[in-house]
Chain A
């Protein structure tokens, strides 16, 4: 197997709590490790507040990390000099959820896509313009869009512009932070198909952040499920949807409405996600978990290996495995 393009090693993000006495802080991301290999899409799924976007921002260097390290092609981002870092960072780009707010309303489309080129040493104006046209055609937007403003475009077209801008510096990795959540389904399909096509043609890797499991399944080869700042399960996509092991993954999958199912929705748990300010002791999912035991209340489980691609952090899983071993 090739080397990962991006590695997160025990990454922690803490935000200080303003106004609190002493050094109180709240842990948004809690010891997350993750590898992304060239050409693959890693889906990051979880409910609001689980830390999935914060993780994306740390990869983009939009948020400094508190602990741990992020390696891009084996090089530590934190060790790189300012100039090196800028070069490295150009290879990682991001597309945000809401193209209305991620595009400058006072720039024309041409300027928006040209900006990263201008800032990264493309001096020749004509060359830049050619590149911009090429980029726009990659996202199926014609020359006529060059002089338009974002407000003249539909949501889907704006997201195409945001994607063209992300592609401008020939990135190797794109962080996609809920890129289709603000769009209607017919437009969502256009954008998902475009992302897939671009990935194949340009050999891109994606970190795909979404709360929509069907969308995640459609695009990802590997899926990480986050809950209260931690990855609770990570697996190949097919495996995860066919055999979810963590009780949280199971709950999530059973609560998503399924088009192919007419039975009334199941309500696995009647409680809500606890506040990350006061995380529960032990396993963070234990207050909502139907199988929680004393062990879960006291100790936070580590990620354990199921197979090379499938890892889960649940005390109950290891017990089951031991049982089956005993049988054999």
Chain B
């Protein structure tokens, strides 16, 4: 099967007075039609940046794609003009953000914001757009959708706002939904509702989802496949069960051991020594080597490639590539 989204060797630089910071250091990622893929990592690992690069949302002044390609339905996105991106955003690729309050315009009613995107992309009349908007609000299980059309974003709870954004994101038939920490600002019971809703609606529409999160437990219970990022690289990817049960990369292993659990015996948590590297002066070779407990000489010198260790399971670690 052809991937819907194919990111190849993507490098993104941020330019600052102190020099260029390589924030994405050669990302390879495939997303297949109808797939639910989790992208996890700690803050600053580049997961949001990956999604923003896909949608052409990099800050023009100081960020640039230095190398690599992003293919969506076989079409190259790198180098597209703003106008071309606008035709794509919301229609074929949509995004929901962490803070729904910031993503909605506080000065306009929900109705006008949901109908705007329908009028723009579908070219339908105001009346038709309104009935369609109401049905979309109902579809994301907003109670009394007609009344909600006439309220302002501040009158809604965080969970309801996120539902509105999801309705907007899916209303024009997007093939790909980029969900950037969509539930991080929400309470757990609401988080469960929203995650379930994203899964149910995208399932029925056949939309692919790239779920960006820092929470491995969320990945465990929502995604089919997961990619783990560290300092601008994907260090491991594979089916959720494999990556979380039999992690192969030392960073994935360390991350899992640092997490407190909801069941099982309570053990001392293993923290990862050191801190996330400064992107202006990243470590040579494998960017994780200064914090890695099993680092060898080779890890300092050369960067390991993301290679297959089992079916669909890829790891970027020198200790693994020996065995292949």
Q: Bin the interface of chain A by size.
A: 35 or more
Given A193-B268, A267-B192, A269-B189, verify A258-B217 contact (CB < 8 Å). Answer: yes
Is residue B195 contacting chain A, with contact meaning CB distance below 8 A? Answer: yes
Is residue A187 contacting chain B, with contact meaning CB distance below 8 A? Answer: yes
Is residue A185 contacting chain B, with contact meaning CB distance below 8 A? Answer: yes
Which residues of the partner chain B approach A252 to less than 8 Å between Cβ atoms? 188-189
- Flag the segment in B57-65, B94-102, B120-128, B254-262 that touches A: B254-262
Query: In the assembly, what is the distance between CA of A9 and CA of B319, in Å?
Result: 59
Query: In the assembly, what is the distance between CA of A189 and CA of B193, in Å?
Result: 28
Chain A's nearest CB lies how many Å from the CB of B40? 10
- Among A185, A241, A260, A261, the one with the most B-chain Cβ atoms within 10 Å of its Cβ is A185
Q: Pick the residue among A192, A241, A257 that contacts B215 (CB under 8 A).
A: A257
Query: In the assembly, what is the distance between CA of A263 and CA of B261, in Å?
Result: 16
Which residues of the partner chain A approach B260 to less than 8 Å between Cβ atoms? 189, 192, 214-215, 217-218
Contact A263 B157 (CB under 8 A): no
Query: In the assembly, what is the distance between CA of A270 and CA of B266, in Å?
Result: 32
Mark contacts of A242-256 with chain B using CB atoms, 8 A cut-off: 1 yes-contact digit, 0 otherwise: 000000000111111
Is residue B222 contacting chain A, with contact meaning CB distance below 8 A? Answer: yes
Is residue A184 contacting chain B, with contact meaning CB distance below 8 A? Answer: yes
Which residues of the partner chain B approach A257 to less than 8 Å between Cβ atoms? 191-192, 195, 215, 217-218, 220-222
Is residue B241 contacting chain A, with contact meaning CB distance below 8 A? Answer: yes
Contact A260 B254 (CB under 8 A): no
Contact B189 A265 (CB under 8 A): no
In the complex, the chain A residue whose C-beta lies closest to that of B185 is: A48
Query: In the assembly, what is the distance between CA of A166 and CA of B256, in Å?
Result: 30
Contact A186 B220 (CB under 8 A): no
Query: In the assembly, what is the distance between CA of A191 and CA of B205, in Å?
Result: 43
Which residues of the partner chain A approach B261 to less than 8 Å between Cβ atoms? 214, 217-218, 258-260
In the complex, the chain B residue whose C-beta lies closest to that of A191 is: B271
Chain A's nearest CB lies how many Å from the CB of B70? 27
Chain A's nearest CB lies how many Å from the CB of B204? 14
Which residues of the partner chain B approach A264 to less than 8 Å between Cβ atoms? 196, 199, 221-222
Given A185-B42, A189-B258, verify A266-B268 contact (CB < 8 Å). Answer: no
Is residue B187 contacting chain A, with contact meaning CB distance below 8 A? Answer: yes
Contact A272 B190 (CB under 8 A): yes
Query: In the assembly, what is the distance between CA of A154 and CA of B278, in Å?
Result: 11
Contact A241 B262 (CB under 8 A): yes
Is residue B244 contacting chain A, with contact meaning CB distance below 8 A? Answer: yes
Which residues of the partner chain A approach B141 to less than 8 Å between Cβ atoms? 270
Chain A's nearest CB lies how many Å from the CB of B231? 12
Is residue B214 contacting chain A, with contact meaning CB distance below 8 A? Answer: yes
Is residue B263 contacting chain A, with contact meaning CB distance below 8 A? Answer: yes
Contact A190 B195 (CB under 8 A): no
Given A217-B262, A257-B217, verify A189-B189 contact (CB < 8 Å). Answer: no
In the complex, the chain B residue whose C-beta lies closest to that of A263 is: B221
Query: In the assembly, what is the distance between CA of A156 and CA of B241, in Å?
Result: 30
Which residues of the partner chain A approach B196 to less than 8 Å between Cβ atoms? 264-265, 267
Mark contacts of B287-301 with chain A using CB atoms, 8 A cut-off: 1 yes-contact digit, 0 otherwise: 000000000000000
Given A214-B259, A241-B263, A258-B263, verify A189-B270 contact (CB < 8 Å). Answer: yes
Which residues of the partner chain B approach A270 to less than 8 Å between Cβ atoms? 141, 193
Chain A's nearest CB lies how many Å from the CB of B146? 19
Chain B's nearest CB lies how many Å from the CB of A149? 17
Contact B263 A186 (CB under 8 A): no
Is residue B43 contacting chain A, with contact meaning CB distance below 8 A? Answer: yes
In the complex, the chain A residue whose C-beta lies closest to that of B269 is: A189
Is residue B19 contacting chain A, with contact meaning CB distance below 8 A? Answer: no
- Among A256, A257, A266, A272, the one with the most B-chain Cβ atoms within 10 Å of its Cβ is A257
Is residue A303 contacting chain B, with contact meaning CB distance below 8 A? Answer: no
New A-B pairs, 8, CB < 8 Å, besides A184-B276, A259-B216: A48-B187, A185-B255, A217-B260, A218-B266, A257-B217, A257-B218, A262-B240, A272-B160
Top 3 closest pairs, chain A to chain B, by CB: A255-B192, A218-B260, A257-B217
